């Protein structure tokens, strides 16, 4: 079965997606590669993650000024507002989730001057459902699924196409080969549990797809190398990673993210993107300039003669450098990459086998770039 897509490998939507995936880097929460101890009590506008490190899983991305009296009407179909709005109930051994909040912690180009555009306009709007009766007014274009198997201690993760019925039918893992040959499919990682908290081994490549504005014909891809989940805590009932902060929303169901966060996160994730990959990613909102230009802040002679790519030296190597090295993987070094990190909250959701959904059945995209 064949489907036609007109997406690009990445666009400004992908920048948001990955935030990998918090508003500014003014120090609120300390970054660490070890589990966060207890709840975060620091006030401040963001959480940071130096190259190669993960933000504390519960790092607060707002100033914690929660003065709203609440009152946002939440329909019964939306799930418990006292927990995390789970869309179904998980079993003790098989637990399926959809990420409901993704807070960018690195790299700096996605968290500083561009924070409002990337975090709120792109990420939040895509992750939030188109479900006003649930207090969400997004478009649901960015779905990231997590399947935890406690019996085999594994985590399966990947993206999903838009669902016509998120609450009843649920979602399926996307499985298709997009234009350019990138294969979007779920990957499985070993998960190491300590009680209800787990971390995973890294996976070499995870391609996450975003269906812009919920349009199955407008696909962009987020290619993450060495994708890793860290310090993820599942609630005792198995339905939540993190929780909903109901009192953050006013009577119109609006939350002011920088003042008081609607979600409390309980997991972090990270990986890197190489400048070579980034230079192959056009950003339409920047007139087709590549993600490499965006990440490095290239200007003048640092931009190739075509005006769309990063300049290269006589050996064909990109002149500018990132904050991370792909091989051997680590901060600094060859500086051919940028480190990406985020915290997240997630709620139980149904994950189906994809029957009847072409984008979940190894479809092929032959569309061009936008």
- Helix or strand holding residue 147 (H, E): strand 143-149
**What is the per-residue pLDDT across 160-213, written as a single tens digit (0 to 9) for each?**
999 999 999 999 999 988 765 778 899 999 999 999 999 999 999 998 877 877
Beta strand 282-283 pairing with 232-233: unpaired
What are the sequence ranges of the domains in the chain?
A: 12-364
Mapped to the 3 state alphabet, what secondary structure does 232-259 carry?
EECCCCCCEECEECHHHCCCCCCCCCCC
Decide: 140 and 216 in contact? Cβ < 8 Å.
no
Mean pLDDT value across residues 335-347: 95
| Per-position DSSP letters for 4-40, written without gaps between them | -----S--HHHHHHHS------SS-B-EESS---S--
What backbone phi and psi angles, to 5 degrees, belong to 119?
Answer: -70, -55
Q: What is the pTM of this model?
A: 0.84
Nearest residue to 281 via CA among 7, 6, 13, 11: 11
**Choice among 102-116, 253-267, 325-339, 343-357 with the minimum mean pLDDT:** 102-116
**What is the per-residue pLDDT across 111-154, written as a single tens digit (0 to 9) for each?**
765 556 667 777 888 899 999 999 998 999 899 999 999 999 99
**Tokens 């569309």 belong to residue:** 367
The token pair that represents 266 in the structure block: 């309980």
- pLDDT band at residue 250 using 50, 70 and 90 as cut-offs: confident
- pLDDT band at residue 283 using 50, 70 and 90 as cut-offs: low
Decide: 159 and 171 in contact? Cβ < 8 Å.
no
The token pair that represents 87 in the structure block: 């869309």
């Amino acid at each position: 079965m064949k489907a036609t897509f007109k997406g690009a490998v990445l666009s400004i939507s992908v920048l948001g997606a990955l935030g990998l995936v918090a508003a500014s880097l003014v120090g609120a929460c300390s970054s660490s590669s070890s589990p966060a101890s207890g709840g975060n009590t620091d006030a401040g506008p963001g959480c940071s993650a130096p190259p190669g490190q993960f933000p504390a899983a519960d790092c607060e991305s707002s100033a914690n000024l929660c003065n709203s009296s609440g009152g946002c009407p939440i329909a019964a179909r939306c799930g418990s507002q006292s927990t995390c709005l789970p869309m179904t109930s998980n079993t003790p051994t098989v637990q399926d989730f959809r990420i409901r909040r993704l807070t960018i912690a690195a790299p700096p180009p996605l968290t500083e001057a561009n924070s409002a555009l990337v975090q709120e306009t792109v990420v939040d709007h895509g992750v939030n459902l188109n479900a006003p009766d649930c207090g969400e007014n997004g478009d649901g274009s960015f779905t990231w699924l997590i399947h935890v198997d406690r019996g085999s201690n594994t985590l399966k993760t990947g993206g999903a196409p838009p669902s016509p019925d998120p609450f009843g039918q649920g979602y399926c893992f996307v499985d298709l080969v997009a234009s350019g040959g990138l294969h979007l499919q779920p990957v499985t990682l070993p998960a190491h549990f300590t009680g209800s908290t787990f971390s995973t081994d890294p996976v070499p490549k995870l391609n996450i797809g975003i269906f812009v504005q919920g349009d199955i014909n407008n696909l962009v891809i987020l290619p993450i190398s060495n994708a890793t989940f860290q310090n993820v805590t599942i609630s005792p009932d198995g339905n939540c990673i993190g929780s909903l902060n109901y009192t953050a929303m006013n009577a119109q169901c609006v939350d002011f993210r920088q003042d008081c966060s609607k979600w409390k996160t309980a997991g972090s994730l990270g990986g890197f993107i190489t400048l070579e990959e980034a230079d192959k990613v056009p950003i339409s909102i920047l007139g087709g300039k590549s993600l490499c230009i965006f990440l490095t802040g290239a200007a003048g002679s640092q931009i190739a003669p075509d005006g769309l790519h990063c300049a290269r030296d006589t050996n064909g190597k990109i002149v500018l450098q990132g904050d991370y090295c792909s091989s051997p993987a680590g901060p600094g070094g060859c500086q051919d990459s940028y480190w990406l990190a985020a915290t997240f909250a997630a709620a139980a959701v149904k994950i189906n086998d994809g029957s009847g959904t072409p984008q979940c059945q190894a479809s092929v995209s032959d569309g061009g770039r936008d």
